[in-house]
Amino acid sequence: MGEESVKLIGAWFSPFSFRVKCALEMKKIEYDYIDEDMFKMERPIISKHNPSYDKENKKVPVFVHGGNSVLESMVIVEYIEEMWPDRYPLLPKDVYEKSIARFWIKFIEDKGIVFFMFFITSGEANKKAQKDMLELLTTIETQSGIKDDNCKFFGGNKINAVDLAFSPFAYWLGAMEKAEGVALLEAHKFPKLHAWTEALKQDPVIQKNLPDFEELVGFFENIKKYGYLQTPPST
């Protein structure tokens, strides 16, 4: 099964597609990448690969391995880890350590709504979203154990699945902050998390797959002006 063709359907701006690209490239797995036009509701490439358990899916990423489609970025990352276990490890082998890694992955998946609210809202609703984001950053800074062992990453000195799960904080949050004209993840307030974002962005696989920053800021500015995945009116 590991030898079958590997395909990833993603979108340039998507932090979820980014997680999967990095997992594949860290393990040096060859894959075809297809960028779907998410500004159209038809999304024909996704539709073609909808898995039978979610025929209504219109989201990226969609991962296709040997004809089977897999959804949800962190489910895909775990699939990749289990399918190619002998390459670059993305989860600890120790069962207890693995359960802690999975705890933080689930934690951040459950908090996705905080991110979403920050980038789709404006005005008073955005003030509330900023407050929720600061609370979330405080929880990660003080509870996650990041940097407590002087390691660079959540998973020690090598990037693992927990780092990929948290990666939207290292780049996408900065673009959202710029679009909104605020600074939340500041080095003096969140020194450990901030140092982690800097270390993550040094990695060559991470660097190669990050979208252009100014384009991303423009993407978030357009969401604020015109709505989520709405095409700006042509001038």
Ligand X SMILES: N[C@@H](CCC(=O)N[C@@H](CS)C(=O)NCC(=O)O)C(=O)O
For residue 3, the minimal CB distance to ligand X (Å) is 25
For residue 177, the minimal CB distance to ligand X (Å) is 18
Which residues are at the interface with ligand X (CB under 6 A)? 11, 14, 16, 38, 58-61, 72-73
For residue 228, the minimal CB distance to ligand X (Å) is 7
Residue 54: both structure tokens together: 């979610």
Closest to ligand X by CB, 77 or 199: 77
Residue bearing tokens 């080095």: 187
Closest to ligand X by CB, 39 or 207: 39
For residue 213, the minimal CB distance to ligand X (Å) is 16
For residue 72, the minimal CB distance to ligand X (Å) is 5
| Distance between start and end Cα atoms, the chain | 50
Closest to ligand X by CB, 58 or 224: 58
Phi, psi of 8 (to 5 degrees): -125, 125
Instruction: Assess contact for 12 and 60: CB atoms under 8 A.
Output: no
Closest to ligand X by CB, 73 or 167: 73
Closest to ligand X by CB, 111 or 158: 111
Instruction: Assess contact for 117 and 163: CB atoms under 8 A.
Output: no
Per-residue DSSP letter, 62: E
DSSP bridge partners of 198: none
Instruction: Assess contact for 74 and 161: CB atoms under 8 A.
Output: yes
Instruction: Assess contact for 196 and 170: CB atoms under 8 A.
Output: yes
**CA proximity to 70, closest of 84, 52, 45, 56:** 52
